[in-house]
Structure 1
């Protein structure tokens, strides 16, 4: 018997996700804005702080030919108003604990079948060793993400395995923040155990889950997802899982993977959907999204069909900076913290993004496998000194932060 893929999701979340999911606007929506100067177009996006900007204006901004200097200035000005001058970073360690996965996404170079060349599934002892080392180096966060491994069970239960995983890491690194499990992973756990998603979230929170990465979003447009990742959870399901995560009081990040087959209208739909979800979180009195991270597509080792369609192995930096500015302008006051990916852009590219709307330079990571296996050239680890120097080189102050952008306790600061 095949499980209903919606069964774990709460009916209220599925309904609200349908309301929150913004469709891509038609090309004609931008017509009346096509001759409006860039500065006026940018000003119109901030005219009503309580409502979404006009979809036509947003599409005109994202699909039109605008001077890069005007976009950069507008985004950097808004960044300064919302987030100030200080650049933040987090000392964290990335733990990709398995790449065994039952899905076959068209962009993924990370997933493997069990037993295949390059497949891995780390045991708790190794992960605990990495956690202890990270905390000794000053890390305040462990970021856990992995493939959808159907063998990851304890006493026949996927949920018990993930509870045990969190418990093992907290035993090794007491008090560290566990930023773990994408919406796709959470839904997979619920499906594996045929139990409500609320049960999964609550029990993982009790086991130490501190916040959730907003990955697996890719582009929240079904047109794109049907081509890019048809086996993955739908855009509506991603929104529903996020709604349930946030209603439990857990913050999540928000991401978008861009620079492949999506169009400007798809990006507008994605960003407006994030705003709609954030509005619902704040209305419910919960934190919602803590940050937005733009994730450029890396094609060097991606599956050949998508690589041929995109025709580029590494991100187009100027295009990514433009998208960084557009994201800041369209997300407005609803998502204050914006972060580039130095793994994908290189540290120099990420540093430049701090001039295009970003206020955070990311984390130290210490290790990284998902993007690196796709062929990224930005590296897998950065020291706190390197991240600080990037900000100071722009004449901006810098400070270490927690996962949720709070101050770091004095005893946790590196010597």
Structure 2
């Protein structure tokens, strides 16, 4: 009978029906190998329908401009207080040098995020500092897509300067920000957030800022930090919030939407001891991440067509496995990455294009370079990118 129930749920998903939270829970809590195989197969079929056979990737660079942060999230090994060993704050010249290096190595995107540094101000205001960050890059490289500043950073700027979220987002857009990372979502459940990130914005504020970005025409991504203290029910609640957010953008005709969903399995090796003890392991459990990723594809349905694993967190082998569990994109080259690496991730900080292409080809799928918004880039002259310079 259980298999018939699972088959009926998966059949509804294939017809394009939105699953209920209870149906999502039933899929996510399966331990039967046949049921899990059926979930995987359905997710892969939906991936083929929604995104096709081709696996995409983007040539991008991360710039984590500071790790000085006023907050103390229980999972974060990246943050430092000013004056701590390992604390850093890039100056304008360093930002420009990293940007130039990215462009020379074929990047079409710079992803820029950082800690919430109270000193990051110009003339006592936060927003002018962030605008100068943007202008430092865009005045020199106007063609680069700047994927920058999470909902948490938008709230930080607004709170420091006493501004509305819409004013902050519009100002960043005008300066040259092209899309917003959907990070700081962690798990969209306030009970979990009170343990993981008690100083961060709550669920409602994260949703409000992302929805405001969509109204103003600024695309966003979406993420979930999984595999720590959250329950399957809270994972489904998170997916339900994302699906509802995207459906609102579609139904209201907002000019921008969520472009992709990225699962970020928890890496605890260097996390603060209290959370590390509570979780009880240092690295993600691949089987759990694969099942959750497959259920995410099924649950989000046609709302979010692009799904991406994290090779930084899972390693390249884990990310390639995820391409067979519903993912259609393998992410970016990154060139450097500090937040997850400082947490003890084993995936590395840079992936050259040839390595990504060969990994995709190893499972018999074609590959395609894309830009941040999933437009195809036909010119593959950048396939010899190397990771030697940081």
TM-score category by the smaller chain?
Answer: over 0.9
SS of corresponding position for 1:361: strand
Cα distance in 1 for partners of 2:238, 2:247 equals: 14
Label 1:259 to 1:381 Cα distance change in 2 as closer, same or farther (>3 A). Answer: same
For the pair 1:65 / 2:31, whether they are aligned, the reply is yes
For 1:226, the equivalent position in structure 2 comes to: 194
Gaps of 5+ in 2: 385-390
For 1:24, the equivalent position in structure 2 comes to: none
Cα distance in 1 for partners of 2:30, 2:111 equals: 37
For 2:92, the equivalent position in structure 1 comes to: 124
Cα distance in 2 for partners of 1:388, 1:47 equals: 32
Cα distance in 2 for partners of 1:284, 1:408 equals: 30
For 1:247, the equivalent position in structure 2 comes to: 215
For 2:264, the equivalent position in structure 1 comes to: 295
After alignment, is 313-322 or 36-45 more displaced? 36-45
TM-aligned CA deviation for residue 174 of structure 1: 2.8
For 1:348, the equivalent position in structure 2 comes to: 317
For the pair 1:106 / 2:79, whether they are aligned, the reply is no
For the pair 1:175 / 2:150, whether they are aligned, the reply is no
Cα distance in 1 for partners of 2:31, 2:302 equals: 25
- Scaled by the length of structure 2, the TM-score of the pair is 0.94
For 2:388, the equivalent position in structure 1 comes to: none
TM-aligned CA deviation for residue 47 of structure 1: 4.8
What is the number of equivalent residue pairs in this alignment? 381
Cα distance in 1 for partners of 2:264, 2:85 equals: 27
Q: Residues 9-408 of structure 1 correspond to what in structure 2 (within 5 A)?
A: 36-47=4-15, 49=17, 52-67=18-33, 68-285=36-253, 286-408=255-377
Cα distance in 1 for partners of 2:380, 2:14 equals: 41
TM-aligned CA deviation for residue 145 of structure 1: 0.7
SS of corresponding position for 1:41: helix
Label 1:64 to 1:292 Cα distance change in 2 as closer, same or farther (>3 A). Answer: same
SS of corresponding position for 2:376: coil
SS of corresponding position for 1:254: strand
TM-aligned CA deviation for residue 388 of structure 1: 1.0
SS of corresponding position for 2:192: helix
TM-aligned CA deviation for residue 83 of structure 1: 0.5
TM-aligned CA deviation for residue 48 of structure 1: 5.4
Cα distance in 2 for partners of 1:271, 1:34 equals: 23
Gaps of 5+ in 1: 1-32
Does the Cα contact within 8 Å between 1:258 and 1:297 map onto a contact in 2? Answer: yes
Cα distance in 2 for partners of 1:232, 1:300 equals: 22
Does the Cα contact within 8 Å between 2:105 and 2:382 map onto a contact in 1? Answer: no
For 1:13, the equivalent position in structure 2 comes to: none
